[in-house]
Structure 1
Amino acid sequence: MKNKQVSLLASIISLSLLLSSQANAAAENAGEFYLGAKTGWANFDFCETGDCDDDAWGGSVYGGYQFNSWISLEGGYNYLGNSKSYVGNQVTDRTKVDNGELGLKLDWNLGSAWNLFGKIGGTYNDVHSQRYNGSNTVKSDNTSLMAGAGLEYQLSHNWRVRTEYQWFDDVGEKGTGQSDINYVSVGLSYYFGEDKNAAAAAAVVAAPIVAAEPEPVVEPEPAPLPLPAATLSTGAFEHDSTALTGSAKESLTPVATYLEQNPEVNVDVIGYTDSTGAAAYNQKLSEKRAKAAADYLESEGVENSRINVEGRGEENPIADNKTAEGREKNRRIEVFYSK
């Protein structure tokens, strides 16, 4: 029985030692002290023959310091109850055990709330064996090995609940019925530390919320009108003529379409001539050419009230009037959108 217990505990503690180096480095309770209490069932191995009541209620208090995410130093006091020996119905021996323990607690975080642990350390045992055959109470004390394993669940940053198994090796001396003790318990621990994540969240909530000033609404600038809308130059008019050529009409057709699609837009039609002939004659000729272009736009559906007609004679030449090519370019109509 004893060899099986040792083997089981050695396996559990070895597993905890193996896994502890992989624990979460950001464990919440690192660097904090804790206190706790637990209660449970103790079993004694005092009696190998005869009638024995080797089960008892036990209770403990404990405390420790969590160095980091995987190791703590933990100590405590355990009251492990009484075992009884019988002859017939008569109690012949009552043995009470309590001890103090100190050891290392090795943690393995199974997730955000669950924690597996192993314990290894020693105990100082105080054993009182009261005999009912007329002899005095026999007392003994000794030290022994303690090992254990358990499971914890984190209720909150400060509170954990644990269930635990401990084995105490050879408690007491021969005169008081030296025995191994098995102890299964359930406990509650309190950690003395602040939840840094909750404090940070509270600070964020408590911080004054400053409403951002709304960005000024900037109205988008209207797209610029395509100016000039059209220039009817080379090939727009024959010499000394006011009749629009076919190519001139083709240039004015997109203008009429745009004006139809944008009824808020008007148009300025300005006529020019080359420098051949008298200036007064050229002025009249430029007005007639502008009027010819306006008439065409009106025939395409543009209202007359949206068309402004102007003649500027031989002003503002765009080419050299000394050449035939230059004079042909200067005989032109320029069309501008306006609002």
Structure 2
Amino acid sequence: MNIKRISLYPSVASIISLSLLMSPQVNAAAENAGEFYLGAKTGWSYFSGFCDPKEGCDDNSDDDAWGGSVYGGYQFNNWLSLEGGYNYLGNAKTYFAAEDVKSKIQNGELGLKADWNLGSAWNLFGKAGTSYNDIEHKSSIGESESDNNWSLMLGAGLEYQLSHNWRVRTEYQWFDDVGSSSVGDTDVHYVSLGLSYYFGSSDKGAAATAAAAATTAAMVQDEPMVEAEPAPEPLPAATLSKGAFGHDSTELTPEAKSSLDPVVTYLDQRQDVNVTVTGYTDSTGSAEYNQKLSEQRAQKAADYLTANGVDSSRVTVEGKGEADPIADNSTAEGREQNRRVEIHYVEAQ
């Protein structure tokens, strides 16, 4: 069977992805640390130099095809995942004077995926690992041959986090020398678009918090009642955190507006009290981006107060970015608590 052997010509994209993996700045937006995920993707495969007219094949031979994949993995921490999958890379067709050869190419891959956060939703990633390849060659004169080998896999891509559970990705992968040299080999370039689902919840801490509150309440009920002196009226405060804003948005949700309505009522009753609205973010993303986002979200809360009758001279707005965290930024629950807007009341001077 006359199938061409192709030399190794590493692509520029492969070098870029390897450089990304080695970068010390890798640190993704890890909403999904400690979670498993599954996904599917489809795309275009190109078999580099699969047909060389110098070896007798027709230069009209098909050296590209549509492919499809399923994949899954586990995200260990803020930036590192283990990912594996199956790729159907399509069929290459090589035409010779005496015969035609159809080569079905598929493989399984396993590698490490490293993330680099570009903001609150965008995520750049690189991959490095290995693949086990299976090629089935069938000729028009009835001959067939199976070809298997291991090869290097490198890749790079971009993800967008639609929600806590869903991410969409576009990806480039390079598989080196797919096929053994005794039969024929080719570099495979694979560009795809995929969708991933993460098996976790942004409300993972809610059940634990509720249980702790119930336990505390039970302990209080068991204590003997002690009559105490009435406490002075406290100045109330409000915190907008979970569910206050849409993902990567500065617009208040209906739940956040409901939380602000008692603030409006209190300020209407207490003309001697002013309010300070302070925005915060978690540590994901750049400090400059987080500072701007905290200011925008605080301003949205302040705008709601003034739109409902609170004089703007009584409202002070500030953003503190990722400063003053109230929880651990290394967990999804902690980051959710740190993404907040606090409303504090101060007596007018």
TM class, shorter-length:
0.5 to 0.7
Aligned-partner residue type, residue 75 of structure 2? Q
Aligned-partner residue type, residue 188 of structure 2? I
Shift of 1:11: 2.4
What CA deviation, in whole Å up to 9, does each residue of 1:103-122 have, x standing for no partner? Answer: 00010011110000000000
Structure-2 residue corresponding to 1:137? 144
Dislocated runs of 4+, deviation >3 Å: 1-4, 19-24, 196-200
Instruction: Give me the whole-angstrom Cα distance separating, in 2, the residues matched to 1:216 and 1:34.
Output: 51
Larger RCO, structures 1/2 (Cα 8 Å, 6+ apart): 2
Within the candidate set 110, 130, 133, 2:118 is matched to: 110
Q: Secondary structure at the match of 2:91?
A: strand
Within the candidate set 73, 92, 97, 2:105 is matched to: 97
Instruction: Give me the whole-angstrom Cα distance separating, in 1, the residues matched to 2:231 and 2:117.
Output: 54
User: 5+ unaligned residues in a row in structure 2: which ranges?
Assistant: 1-6, 215-229, 233-349
Aligned-partner residue type, residue 109 of structure 1? N
Identity within the alignment, %:
61
Q: Secondary structure at the match of 2:38?
A: strand
Give the conservation status (yes or no) of the 8 Å contact 2:61–2:95. yes
Structure-2 residue corresponding to 1:13? 18
**Number of residue pairs aligned between Structure 1 and Structure 2:** 205
Instruction: Give me the whole-angstrom Cα distance separating, in 2, the residues matched to 1:96 and 1:20.
Output: 40
Structure-1 residue corresponding to 2:198? 191
Within the candidate set 37, 41, 50, 2:40 is matched to: 37
Q: Aligned Cα RMSD in Å?
A: 3.0
Q: Secondary structure at the match of 2:120?
A: coil
Structure-2 residue corresponding to 1:228? none
Instruction: Give me the whole-angstrom Cα distance separating, in 2, the residues matched to 1:118 and 1:54.
Output: 26
Structure-2 residue corresponding to 1:246? none
Instruction: Give me the whole-angstrom Cα distance separating, in 2, the residues matched to 1:115 and 1:91.
Output: 47
Structure-2 residue corresponding to 1:267? none
Q: Secondary structure at the match of 2:16?
A: helix
Shift of 1:22: 4.0
Instruction: Give me the whole-angstrom Cα distance separating, in 1, the residues matched to 2:35 and 2:26.
Output: 19
Whether 2:181 is the aligned partner of 1:174: answer yes
Within the candidate set 57, 73, 76, 2:82 is matched to: 73
Structure-2 residue corresponding to 1:161? 168
Q: Secondary structure at the match of 2:61?
A: strand
Within the candidate set 40, 45, 51, 1:47 is matched to: 51
Instruction: Give me the whole-angstrom Cα distance separating, in 2, the residues matched to 1:129 and 1:146.
Output: 22
Instruction: Give me the whole-angstrom Cα distance separating, in 2, the residues matched to 1:154 and 1:164.
Output: 15
Shift of 1:23: 4.0
Which of these two proteins has the greater Rg computed from alpha carbons?
Answer: 1
Instruction: Give me the whole-angstrom Cα distance separating, in 2, the residues matched to 1:106 and 1:146.
Output: 14
Instruction: Give me the whole-angstrom Cα distance separating, in 1, the residues matched to 2:139 and 2:182.
Output: 11
Structure-2 residue corresponding to 1:57? 66
Give the conservation status (yes or no) of the 8 Å contact 2:112–2:128. yes
Within the candidate set 123, 128, 134, 1:120 is matched to: 128
Q: Structure 1 residues 20 and 79, CA, compared in 2 at 3 Å: closer, same or farther?
A: farther
Q: Report the TM-score when normalising by structure 1.
A: 0.55
Instruction: Give me the whole-angstrom Cα distance separating, in 2, the residues matched to 1:23 and 1:14.
Output: 16
Whether 2:9 is the aligned partner of 1:3: answer yes
What CA deviation, in whole Å up to 9, does each residue of 1:200-246 have, x standing for no partner? Answer: 8x97xxx9xxxxxxx999xxxxxxxxxxxxxxxxxxxxxxxxxxxxx
Aligned-partner residue type, residue 96 of structure 1? K
Q: Report the TM-score when normalising by structure 2.
A: 0.53
Shift of 1:28: 1.2
Instruction: Give me the whole-angstrom Cα distance separating, in 1, the residues matched to 2:231 and 2:82.
Output: 63
Give the conservation status (yes or no) of the 8 Å contact 2:99–2:141. no
